[in-house]
Chains A and B, each alone.
Chain A
Amino acid sequence: MSVDTATVAKIAALARIKLSEGEVAAMVPELNGILAWVEQLGEVDVTGIEPMTAVIENKQRLRADVIGADPLTGGGVRDAVLANAPAAEHGFFGVPKVIE
């Protein structure tokens, strides 16, 4: 598998990353290098082997439906949530106008 200039430009656009033509051109061999490296995995014969979902045999843990059971992952932390926002106004994130 490999990517060409058009594919790189499209992926960048979907991710809203602005790349100049020069940057796209530089990115093509870089991404292809990564893909080729990962593709080495295809050389291993995995016939009859179940795909592995985790290194350690484990089941997905579920949590109880309780608000703020773990304060680190609960709500009510607006200041912390907005702390890094470039434009926080009236408790909202402000972003460049996006309208249909």
Chain B
Amino acid sequence: MDPPPRRDAVTPFLAAKWALSAQVMSTYRIQGATGEWEVVIGLEVHAQIMTQSKLFSGAATAFGAEPNTQVSLVDAAMPGMLPVPNRECIRQAVRTGLAIQAQINKWSRFDRKNYFYADLPQGYQISQLYHPIVGEGAIEVILDDKDPEGSTKTIGIERIHVEQDAGKLMHDQHPTMSYVDLNRSGVALMEIVSRPDMRSPAEAGAYVAKLRQILRYVGSCDGNMDQGSMRADVNVSVRRPGEPFGTRTETKNVNSVRFVMAVVEQEARRQVGVIEDGGAIVQETRLYDPDKNETRSMRSKEDAHDYRYFPDPDLLPLELDDAFVEECRASLPELPDAKRHRYETALGLSAYDAAQLTLEVETYQQFEEMLGAVVKASGKLERDLAKRVANWLLSERAGVLKSIPEGAAHPKNTVEANTALIIAASEGLISGGKAKEIFAAYLTSDIDLAAEIDANKQTSDTGAIEAAIARILADNADKVAEFKGGKEALFGFFVGQTMKAMQGKANPQVVNELLRKALG
């Protein structure tokens, strides 16, 4: 069995959740030649803290600048330079800790992690080994995102510490040299260390996705995995179900949710193969090759684990007062789980819609902005309009945006335009399908939105509709007879003919009612 998590720093609430989630046994197994194997996964996620300047210097952090233009003499480790911590980096780490319900350590300290590599000009990374700023917390993941009401699992987080990023090496620019760009050197990272609580590729993927969602809500990291703002070191071991942990390997710098899942699966299969062939797993650092979908050993780092940590004499311990922590707490937005819950209970949305709307920050912001505008314009209640706005965002509008090359970034895809169409549809002026058509036309041509809505208004003018119905019934006396003789399916034909006669602008509900009356 797993060693029980340390409970001293944990609230009764978290402890209770852990106890519950320990009962959810993962059924994911690797089928080996000699039987079944269970996979044990722990993740160390490096998240770049979203700040203007670096952790210990005033150089900029923006992505994609010319090489070595965002490097100060501090980042290049010139003699005599001294680090001064960036308050915002500390603040964002604390806010992140609070968002995962973790213990905040008001006394923490920076240590030097010593190793020699061309991307590390200091010869050590300033990190926090012995006294991290954030202690134990946890996050809850939904195991199947298609089924948000399905089973969940609580994944423990051991700690978050703040540290410096290293520079970047380029090996393909010169036949005998590697090029070094120190722009990233000294950029602030949070290292978020999970407990070895995950048991399948899906759980590992769900954990990274949920963590990314929380970081983006908090605003402490932009979560751009393709730019390297978030990357994971994946620790994997295998064991017979119920037996003690096996020896683990660590696959470094995995930069997408999909790759994290692939690494877990490939590395677990490799380990099972090695063990079943009579070999033993060596605790080592590995690299993932996405092209070959395999991990391989980084032999050159064999010695590197001897980091000879010691407290950094250039930095005093970091002491936070209550006011600092309370400001961090007060500045947190509504977090994903709370928001999803509110969407279901207060707004009456389905679990699926609530999960979809809260997945990305941009989506819920648009949803709330549009819902607010529609409520204000119509005077109706949020609860009565939420489903309509959700449908527009998740299905009708999503379809239109998918069909144009610019997608959601189209300059005319504004809140105002969206709101106008949602209101027109919610008041029955136009149908949902018509709103979609008008929106597509509006984005791709030069039409006036208000005029177009006006021109397509469906009419509930019973006089006009009744006149059209009377004409159609007269012209189709044979079909009327068939209908009355029991051929119910012909009702659709009459609806179609009436809509056609009304040029698609009749309110379908009114047409249905009047037709029933005329044919009844």
Residues of A participating in the B interface, judged by any CB pair closer than 8 Å: 10, 13-16, 53-54, 58-70, 72-78, 80-82, 87, 89-100
Contacts and interface: CB of A to CB of B under 8 A. Distances in A.
B509 interface: no
Given A63-B85, A93-B68, A77 B73 contact: yes
B171 A97 contact: yes
Contact of A94 (B117, B179, B182, B319): B179
B181 interface: yes
A93 to B, nearest CB: 4
Contacts of A94: 174, 177-180
B299 to A, nearest CB: 9
Contact of B58 (A70, A81, A91): A70
Contacts of A100: 287, 298, 300
Given A73-B58, A74-B59, A63 B86 contact: yes
A83 to B, nearest CB: 10
Interface string B46-83: 00000111000111100000111111111110100100
B512 to A, nearest CB: 61
Nearest to B319: A59
B68 A92 contact: yes
Size band of the interface chain B makes with A: 35 or more
B179 A64 contact: no
Contacts of B518: none
Nearest to B175: A97
B7 to A, nearest CB: 28
A98 B59 contact: no
Given A62-B90, A75-B60, A92-B170, A14 B52 contact: no
Contacts of B170: 92
Contacts of A98: 117-118, 169, 171, 178
A61 B70 CA distance: 23
Nearest to B67: A91
A95 B180 contact: yes
Chain A contact residues: helix, strand, loop or mixed: loop
Given A68-B58, A69-B58, A81-B72, 17 more contacts: A53-B311, A53-B317, A65-B51, A65-B52, A67-B58, A67-B60, A68-B53, A73-B73, A73-B84, A74-B58, A75-B72, A75-B75, A90-B173, A91-B67, A92-B170, A97-B174, A97-B178
Nearest to B89: A65
A72 B73 contact: yes
Contact of A90 (B52, B179, B316): B179
Contacts, number: 155
Chain B contact residues: helix, strand, loop or mixed: loop
Contacts of A97: 171, 174, 176-178
Nearest to B299: A100
Nearest to B59: A75
Given A75-B70, A75-B72, A53 B178 contact: no
A67 B186 CA distance: 13
B176 A96 contact: yes
B315 interface: yes
A44 B78 CA distance: 37
B87 interface: yes
Contacts of B298: 100
Given A94-B179, A95-B178, A64 B87 contact: yes
A94 B118 CA distance: 10
B216 to A, nearest CB: 19
B60, B72, B117 — which one has the most chain A CB atoms within 10 A of its CB? B72
12 contacts: A60-B316, A60-B319, A66-B58, A73-B59, A75-B70, A77-B73, A78-B68, A90-B67, A92-B67, A94-B177, A95-B178, A96-B178
A87 B176 CA distance: 12
A53 B287 CA distance: 39
A60 B315 contact: yes
B87 A62 contact: yes
A40 to B, nearest CB: 19
Contacts of B117: 98
B203 to A, nearest CB: 29
B442 interface: no
A10, A59, A69, A78 — which one has the most chain B CB atoms within 10 A of its CB? A78
Nearest to A94: B177
B84 A63 contact: yes
A93 B84 contact: no
B318 A75 contact: no
Interface in B167-202: 169-171, 173-174, 176-182
A10 B306 CA distance: 10
Given A14-B308, A15-B116, A60 B318 contact: yes
A75 B182 CA distance: 11
A14 B303 contact: yes
B51 A76 contact: no
A69 to B, nearest CB: 5
B99 to A, nearest CB: 19
A56 to B, nearest CB: 10
A92 B180 contact: yes
Top-8 shortest CB links A-B? A75-B59, A65-B88, A92-B179, A62-B87, A60-B316, A93-B180, A74-B58, A94-B177
Interface string B281-306: 00000010000000000101001001
Contacts of B60: 67-68, 75
Contacts of B78: 81
B138 to A, nearest CB: 28
Contacts of A73: 57-59, 72-74, 81, 84
